Structure 1
Amino acid sequence: MSTIKKIGILGGTFDPPHVGHLRLATHFAKVLHLDALLLIPSGEPWQKGTGITPAETRLQLTEAAGIDLARAFLYLKIATQVGIDRIEIDRAGPSYAIDTVRVLRERYGADASLTWLMGADSLVALPSWNSWEKLSHYVNFAVATRPHHGLKMEISSEVGQFLKGHQTSDPAALENQPSGLIYIDEGLNVDLSSTELRDRLKSSSRGAIASEHIPTHTLEIITNLGLYQ
């Protein structure tokens, strides 16, 4: 992967990974012509509180989701490699995105375009991230809007100022710049709430919800391990 120039990064707790994650990954792999897309489950998701599924189990679920994502890319003729990276699981202490992007920048070099993929709710919450204002020194951002979320109404003045200095309406710009740009995609509405999905999995309609919202291979592991009961 030393010759790869355009890398997408999709980090998260992945508790569990679901169809929304795969839709976001597929959309941006195509729009940004990514050479590779890394799924990075957090080791210690410091903002999520207690009750999180163990990291190695979430890694296993993410690897299973990666199989379905790679098959989707093959079917859709998207020439993007899928990688599952345990960088945050192997690093001791809280999983901070700033530490991850520094390592990835060192790994791929100064010229590679690194783009962090996220939903709009993550953009709104960006000021709560550790050293968030430094992230753009290392990566671009590609943001998918969420249903029923009026982004302009929700962002703080801090994020608004951040967007003024970094936003682009041209996704191709991210392909040619290593870091520092933010592209908000209004054509994709993705709901990325794993928390809500976990709650729904505890209901009587668990089976129908699971098959509709969770990738096939991930669901098989969830069923075998008896997770989210």
Structure 2
Amino acid sequence: MSALKKIGILGGTFDPPHIGHLRLASHFAKILHLDELLLIPSGEPWQKGSAITPAEIRFQLTEAAGIDLARALLYLQIPTQVSIDRIEIERSGPSYSIDTAKTLRERFGPQASLIWLTGADSLMHLPSWNSWRDLFQYMNFAVASRPNYDLNSEMSPEINELLASHQIQEPLALENTPAGLIYIDEGLSVDLSSTELRIRLKTSSRSEIASEQIPSHTLQIITNLGLYQ
């Protein structure tokens, strides 16, 4: 058993949270033996423009999704604690992942394994993030593949270079190393995006889409507040 505390971090706009987020979170909670999983809604997502749902509402939606995630982990007998963190909402200015990484490293100490959970498309856009190379001083990355998404054809020279120096093949390495590694997982393919979901929620098949792709407690809040119509 690893002696390091293992913290999974799933950040995002969560506008809205969807089943894909929960599948990714529970998958990595299981294979990485996470002690804790933080869902972190962004406060001011600087790459998303201004047409987003207010941060406090997105936090409510994420809290609700966390209830379904915690229940799923309990059902699957995965002993990972789920927390919804206000770290980016309470920090003024644009929500940069590097600031979050530094704060979490201070919180959990130098020995904890901090693991940023994300999809393959986000990995490809990593060079557009603020101080992206510095992220590996503070955390590891666990990346889930997406169906019909060819990493090799999408890969920039910068990402090729990154993987050459940081990629590992076995997830166990993430459990025993505080930061600096990338694991790409081919065992989960999630093909949902919040952007596409918002578009589809405006169609006549809204109710059918929502019940299949949005966690039940989140859907209840969306319905009560009349969001995404």
Gaps in structure 1 of 5+ consecutive residues? none
* Cα distance in 2 for residues equivalent to 1:66 and 1:5: 21
Is 1:212 paired with 2:226?
no
Partner of 2:122: 122
Partner of 2:66: 66
- Give the C-alpha shift of residue 4 in structure 1: 7.6
Gaps in structure 2 of 5+ consecutive residues? none
Contact 1:17 1:62 in 2 (8 A): yes
Partner of 2:159: 159
Contact 2:140 2:180 in 1 (8 A): yes
Is 1:9 paired with 2:9?
yes
Structure 1 moving runs of 4+ over 2 Å = none
Partner of 2:33: 33
Is 1:177 paired with 2:177?
yes
Residue type at the aligned position of 1:202: K
SS in 2 for 1:187: coil
**Structure 2 length normalisation: TM-score?**
0.98
Query: After the TM superposition, which residues 182-201 of structure 1 pair with which residues of structure 2 at under 5 Å, given as runs?
Result: 182-201=182-201
* Cα distance in 2 for residues equivalent to 1:153 and 1:186: 16
**Structure 1 length normalisation: TM-score?**
0.98
Residue type at the aligned position of 1:57: I
SS in 2 for 1:39: strand
- Give the C-alpha shift of residue 192 in structure 1: 4.0
- Give the C-alpha shift of residue 50 in structure 1: 1.9
Q: Percent identity?
A: 74
Contact 2:4 2:176 in 1 (8 A): no
Contact 1:4 1:36 in 2 (8 A): no
Query: After the TM superposition, which residues 79-158 of structure 1 pair with which residues of structure 2 at under 5 Å, given as runs?
Result: 79-158=79-158
Q: How many residues align?
A: 227
* Cα distance in 2 for residues equivalent to 1:158 and 1:72: 37
- Give the C-alpha shift of residue 125 in structure 1: 0.2
Residues 46-90 of structure 1: per-residue CA shift (max 9 Å, x gap): 000121000000000000000000000000000000000000000
* Cα distance in 2 for residues equivalent to 1:156 and 1:96: 22
* Cα distance in 2 for residues equivalent to 1:115 and 1:192: 22
Query: After the TM superposition, which residues 41-80 of structure 1 pair with which residues of structure 2 at under 5 Å, given as runs?
Result: 41-80=41-80
Residue type at the aligned position of 2:31: V
Over the residues paired in the alignment, what is the CA RMSD in angstroms? 0.9
